[in-house]
């Protein structure tokens, strides 16, 4: 039985007076999740470069990172700018660069941020080189390596690997190394396949590094990672750093893959019951896709959780209940295990907790986190950095 300990926060006045829906973080669980992966990664001799895209709140940086020179990953220039404002300087912008974004990158470099961009096409290499020539600067670039056919990147054996790296290395840009993301690992369901996905991700970047070194192109950064593989590396020799994003909050998708237990999920949405359909056994809550997101990440997993599982205010998982339908500001909770839902057990005005499918997507629907540390009896508000 899940007991989400942070729901002890329900005893606090602050918690009770917050209007629903709101995004609630269990600080102890969050910190434990962060510590676990950092310890694991460092024990394997690599450093952890958390992906800021999940949390996107300056107030959380003190927990995510050791100090202002600690490595961090971003998915938008906006995040990098917010990091610079807060004094954080070691950044990888891990989405393929387009020339139009380079002036903002140059400004960050000028302000002292060591930000690297990502490329995986000769066109991008050419555009970055040209920008650097025309603007008398040197933008650091990583080359994305495709380890599993998931999305972008250049395969280690592809002649373009050397071509792009060489263009950057000998051009006005500053070639810094390689980066891989095992996106296919999100489809793994067993420890064995996860370990294999993790080993394969490492093999791919190391093969790329070997080929580049043979062409006299050094790789200062050798970066791998996804939350599933990050928890399953057994050997990181040759890899300088590991990236992961959702590991701080975790979610039902990660539970479905087997990366975490339900009680490691640190971010949930608190909702209020606003009605019933007695005939159909439905309970309506004031959390629709606007609060939960429309993410259906568990749809293709063995345990489809709809738009989220449900616990009561005391933190007990309500077995068989899930949010089955979402409209903008309505969630419809039903039973999925054939048992009858007793709406009278969930009176209008009572509160329920929704465990999200995908923490990145759910958090993105909110402008603030309400972070409760029930041991220290503290409440923090973290403000999300929005936009691009």
CB of 386 to a copy of itself, least distance (A): 5
Q: Is 135 in the site for a copy of itself (CB under 8 A)?
A: no
Considering the complex, state which of residue 223 and residue 293 has its C-beta at the smaller distance from a copy of itself.
293
Structure tokens that stand for 113 in this block: 């941020």
Q: Is 361 in the site for a copy of itself (CB under 8 A)?
A: yes
Query: What's the Cα-to-Cα distance from 12 to each of 16, 144, 147, 288, 348, rounded to whole Å?
Result: 6, 47, 48, 25, 21
**Distance (Å, rounded) from C-alpha 387 to C-alpha 380?**
23
User: What is 167-202 written as a DSSP string?
Assistant: HHHHSSSEEEEEEE--GGGGG--SHHHHHHHHHHHH
CB of 283 to a copy of itself, least distance (A): 11
Q: Is 345 in the site for a copy of itself (CB under 8 A)?
A: no
Considering the complex, state which of residue 36 and residue 330 has its C-beta at the smaller distance from a copy of itself.
330
Considering the complex, state which of residue 210 and residue 277 has its C-beta at the smaller distance from a copy of itself.
277
CB of 57 to a copy of itself, least distance (A): 15
Q: Is 301 in the site for a copy of itself (CB under 8 A)?
A: no
Q: How far apart are the first and last CA of the chain?
A: 40
Q: Is 96 in the site for a copy of itself (CB under 8 A)?
A: yes
**Distance (Å, rounded) from C-alpha 43 to C-alpha 41?**
5
**Distance (Å, rounded) from C-alpha 142 to C-alpha 119?**
6
Q: Is 324 in the site for a copy of itself (CB under 8 A)?
A: no
Q: Which of 29, 41, 124, 229 binds a copy of itself (CB under 8 A)?
A: 124
Is residue 72 within 8 Å of 52, Cβ to Cβ?
A: yes
Q: Which of 110, 216, 237, 328 binds a copy of itself (CB under 8 A)?
A: 328
Q: Is 44 in the site for a copy of itself (CB under 8 A)?
A: no
Q: Is 348 in the site for a copy of itself (CB under 8 A)?
A: yes
Q: Which of 1, 19, 234, 338 binds a copy of itself (CB under 8 A)?
A: 19
> Closest Cα to residue 382, out of 100, 77, 56?
56
Instruction: Please report, for the chain, how many H helices and E strands are present, in that order.
Output: 12, 17
Q: Is 165 in the site for a copy of itself (CB under 8 A)?
A: no
Q: Is 52 in the site for a copy of itself (CB under 8 A)?
A: no
Considering the complex, state which of residue 3 and residue 16 has its C-beta at the smaller distance from a copy of itself.
16
State whether the Cα torsion 269-273-276-281 is positive or negative: positive
Structure tokens that stand for 298 in this block: 């568990």
- Applying CB under 8 A, which residues contact a copy of itself? 19-22, 53, 75-77, 95-101, 104, 120-121, 123-124, 127, 151-152, 183, 272-277, 284, 286, 289-291, 293-296, 327-330, 332, 347-349, 360-361, 364-368, 386-388
């Amino acid at each position: 039985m899940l007991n989400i300990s942070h729901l002890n926060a329900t005893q606090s006045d602050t918690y009770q007076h917050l209007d629903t829906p709101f995004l609630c973080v269990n600080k102890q669980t969050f910190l434990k999740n962060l510590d676990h992966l950092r310890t694991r990664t460092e024990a394997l001799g690599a450093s952890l470069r958390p992906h800021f895209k999940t949390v996107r709140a300056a107030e959380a940086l003190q927990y995510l990172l050791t100090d202002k020179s600690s490595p961090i990953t971003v998915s938008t220039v906006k995040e990098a700018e917010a990091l610079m404002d807060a004094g954080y300087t070691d950044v990888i912008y891990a989405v393929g660069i387009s020339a139009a974004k380079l002036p903002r990158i140059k400004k960050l470099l000028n302000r002292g941020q060591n930000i690297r961009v990502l490329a995986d096409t000769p066109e991008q290499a050419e555009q970055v080189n040209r920008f650097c020539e025309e603007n008398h600067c040197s933008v650091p670039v990583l080359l994305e390596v495709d380890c599993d056919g998931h999305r972008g990147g250049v395969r280690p054996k592809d002649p373009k690997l050397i071509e792009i790296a060489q263009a950057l290395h000998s051009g006005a840009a500053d070639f810094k190394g390689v980066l891989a993301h095992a996106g296919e690992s999100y489809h793994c369901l067993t420890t064995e396949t996860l370990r294999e996905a993790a080993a394969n991700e490492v093999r791919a970047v190391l093969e790329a590094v070997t080929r580049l070194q043979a062409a006299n192109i050094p790789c200062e950064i050798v970066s791998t990672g996804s939350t599933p593989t990050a928890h399953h590396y057994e050997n990181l020799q040759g890899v300088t750093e590991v990236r992961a994003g959702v590991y701080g909050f975790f979610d039902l998708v990660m539970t479905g893959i087997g990366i975490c237990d339900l009680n490691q999920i640190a971010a949930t949405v608190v909702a209020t019951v606003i009605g019933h359909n007695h005939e159909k056994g439905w309970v309506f809550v004031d959390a629709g896709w606007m609060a939960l997101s429309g993410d259906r990440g568990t749809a293709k997993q063995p345990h489809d959780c709809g738009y989220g599982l449900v616990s009561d205010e005391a933190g007990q998982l309500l077995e068989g209940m899930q949010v089955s339908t979402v409209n903008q500001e309505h969630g419809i909770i039903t039973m999925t295990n054939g048992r009858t839902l007793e709406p009278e057990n969930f009176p209008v005005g009572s509160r329920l907790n929704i465990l999200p499918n995908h923490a990145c997507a759910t958090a993105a629907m909110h402008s603030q986190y309400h972070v409760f540390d029930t041991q220290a009896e503290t409440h923090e508000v973290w403000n999300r950095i929005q936009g691009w």
